[in-house]
């Protein structure tokens, strides 16, 4: 069988990696690719901090043995997931060693290193313009240069996917996507890493009151990537004075920690952060020979760092699925929908708190209780981090012991602000 993957980003590369175990695979990427870890137009969020969840790191290591060590040799920073320095509305997280490896690196380094390990044929500079559909079966893709035949087409083209429009051209209607938009925008700048700067340092956004935050991560080249974040339209500006003023306005002393650090880049903006979920599994006349994975199906607000992990989970579905008839492809899309269900529930409920029309509901209320608990109790912190990083089931957050502890800390209220060692008081 010949599979054609649309999109040479991480979701497409991972799909090609697994499909390549049993099939011939061609990856079609619109951008011109090089061997260097460079930013590219097709990944506009690539200049901003990228969280690789612990579970995502585990899956990448399974697909590419030795990848973690290779990334570290190329400059990625390895830390423990329990050592993150993160300020929540109620105070700093109660850090504790978890034994969970956390990689901090740039998107270009991760994507380029993965691409070098994928054995599929990768064609860059290819503009896909549509699907070739015959008698209810997709038999290839259309490009500016002609048709590329395929027994299976995988749409991994991400947030910019045009799959719904291409299906409409073939007379196949898809449901309107579910969209949750927190109105979040980013502004990012790279700095020379100050001595002893933490691997991960952040102030979290929290609806409806904390609309400004920051995520700073040490990355390769002894640099710090600083992404200012503003929700509900309160976006950080591009001009240097405005960007600095935004950092100065935060509770976390990021400005002091960067004092004297050399800025290495201009400020880059990104604001296409709305979460969007397509219910492709509900299309009754879905064609054979076509599946979609990654952000083309479910695109999360990047602030939660879930996309790469879910893309890896989607890719691994190909190991247990070899029926790509119309019925088989429908079944595959149902599996993809289940993969993203819990991550979507957690992140979209947090974002719903920013709009009057869509509150966070019971889950949002419960997560507020956790915001207090995780700053007081290392065990609650450990449980929460494991669920957020998708290495433990959400059920671990739901038991009588946890409920009693959350009730106790809720009565105590927010913890007085304490700064990590090495930070400068404001």
Residue 419 clears pLDDT 50, i.e. is over it: no
Q: Average pLDDT, stretch 201-210?
A: 93
pLDDT of 231 reads 97
d(CA 195, CA 253): 15
Residue 237 clears pLDDT 70, i.e. is over it: yes
Contact 257/250 with Cβ under 8 angstroms? Answer: no
Query: Cα separations (Å) of 323 from 50, 140, 151, 319, 320?
Result: 34, 17, 11, 11, 10
Q: Average pLDDT, stretch 176-184?
A: 96
Q: Which pTM does this prediction carry?
A: 0.93
Q: Average pLDDT, stretch 97-118?
A: 97
**Which stretches within 133-278 are classed as H helix?**
163-169, 240-248, 254-257
Q: Encoding tokens for residue 124?
A: 């860059």
d(CA 242, CA 374): 32
Q: Average pLDDT, stretch 15-33?
A: 97
CA dihedral 78, 91, 303, 341 (to 10 degrees): 100
Residue with tokens 């695109």: 299
Where exactly are the structural domains of the chain? 2-50+106-180+274-347, 51-105+360-426, 185-270
Q: How confident is the model at residue 361 (pLDDT cuts 50, 70, 90)?
A: low
Answer CATH for 2-50+106-180+274-347 from 1.20.120.160, 3.40.50.300, 3.50.50.60, 3.10.20.580: 3.50.50.60
First to last CA, the chain: 62
Q: How confident is the model at residue 412 (pLDDT cuts 50, 70, 90)?
A: low
pLDDT of 28 reads 98
- Helix (H) or strand (E) segment spanning residue 60: helix 54-63
pLDDT of 200 reads 97
Q: Positive or negative CA dihedral for 170, 171, 176, 177?
A: negative
Cβ burial of 179 (10 Å; 0-12, 13-18, 19+) is exposed
Higher-confidence residue: 54 or 395? 54
pLDDT of 359 reads 56
CATH architecture of 185-270: 2-Layer Sandwich (3.30)
Q: Average pLDDT, stretch 5-9?
A: 98
- How many Cα neighbours within 13 Å face the side chain of 64? 25
pLDDT exceeding 90 applies to what percent of the chain?
Answer: 83
Q: Average pLDDT, stretch 23-44?
A: 94
Non-local (6+) Cβ contacts of 343 within 8 A are: 298, 300, 304, 306, 309, 310, 390
Q: How confident is the model at residue 362 (pLDDT cuts 50, 70, 90)?
A: low
Q: Average pLDDT, stretch 367-372?
A: 81
pLDDT of 425 reads 33
Residue 72 clears pLDDT 80, i.e. is over it: yes
pLDDT of 403 reads 86
pLDDT of 356 reads 63
Helices then strands, counting H and E runs in the chain, come out as 12, 20
pLDDT of 364 reads 67
């Amino acid at each position: 069988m010949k599979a054609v993957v649309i999109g040479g980003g991480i979701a497409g590369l991972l799909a090609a990696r697994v499909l390549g175990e049993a099939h011939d695979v061609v990856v079609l990427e619109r951008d011109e690719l090089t061997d260097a870890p460079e930013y590219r137009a097709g990944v506009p969020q690539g200049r901003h901090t990228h969280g690789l969840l612990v579970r995502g790191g585990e899956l990448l290591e399974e697909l590419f043995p030795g990848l973690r060590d290779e990334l570290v040799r190329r400059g990625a920073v390895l830390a423990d997931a329990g050592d993150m320095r993160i300020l929540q509305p109620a105070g700093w997280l109660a850090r504790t060693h978890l034994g969970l490896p956390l990689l901090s690196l740039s998107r270009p380094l991760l994507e380029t290193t993965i691409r070098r390990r994928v054995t599929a044929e990768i064609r860059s500079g290819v503009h896909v313009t549509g699907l070739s559909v015959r008698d209810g079966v997709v038999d290839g893709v259309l490009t500016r240069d002609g048709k590329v035949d395929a027994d299976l087409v995988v749409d991994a083209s991400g947030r910019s996917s045009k799959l719904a429009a291409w299906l409409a051209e073939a007379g196949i209607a898809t449901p309107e996507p579910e969209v949750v938009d927190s109105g979040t925008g980013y502004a990012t700048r790279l700095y020379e890493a100050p001595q002893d700067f933490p691997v991960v340092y952040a102030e979290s956004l929290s609806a409806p009151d904390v609309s400004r935050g920051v995520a700073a991560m040490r990355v390769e080249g002894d640099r710090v990537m600083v992404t200012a974040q503003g929700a509900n339209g309160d976006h950080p500006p591009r001009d240097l004075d405005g960007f600095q003023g935004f950092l100065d306005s935060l509770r976390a002393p990021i400005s002091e920690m960067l004092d004297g650090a050399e800025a290495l880049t201009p400020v880059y903006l990104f604001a296409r952060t709305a979460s969007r979920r397509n219910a492709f599994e509900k299309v009754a006349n879905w064609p054979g020979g076509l599946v979609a994975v990654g952000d083309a199906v479910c695109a999360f607000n990047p602030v939660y760092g879930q996309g790469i992990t879910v893309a890896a989970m989607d890719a691994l579905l190909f190991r247990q699925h070899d029926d790509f008839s119309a019925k088989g492809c429908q079944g595959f899309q149902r599996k993809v929908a289940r993969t993203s269900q819990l991550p979507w529930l957690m992140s979209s409920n947090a974002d719903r708190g920013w709009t009057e029309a869509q509150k966070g509901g019971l889950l949002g209320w419960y997560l507020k209780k956790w915001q207090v608990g995780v700053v007081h109790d290392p065990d609650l912190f450990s449980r929460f981090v494991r669920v957020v990083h998708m290495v433990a089931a959400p059920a671990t957050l739901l038991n009588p012991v946890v409920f009693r502890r959350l009730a106790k800390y809720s009565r105590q209220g927010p913890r007085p602000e304490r700064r990590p060692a090495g930070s400068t008081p404001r």
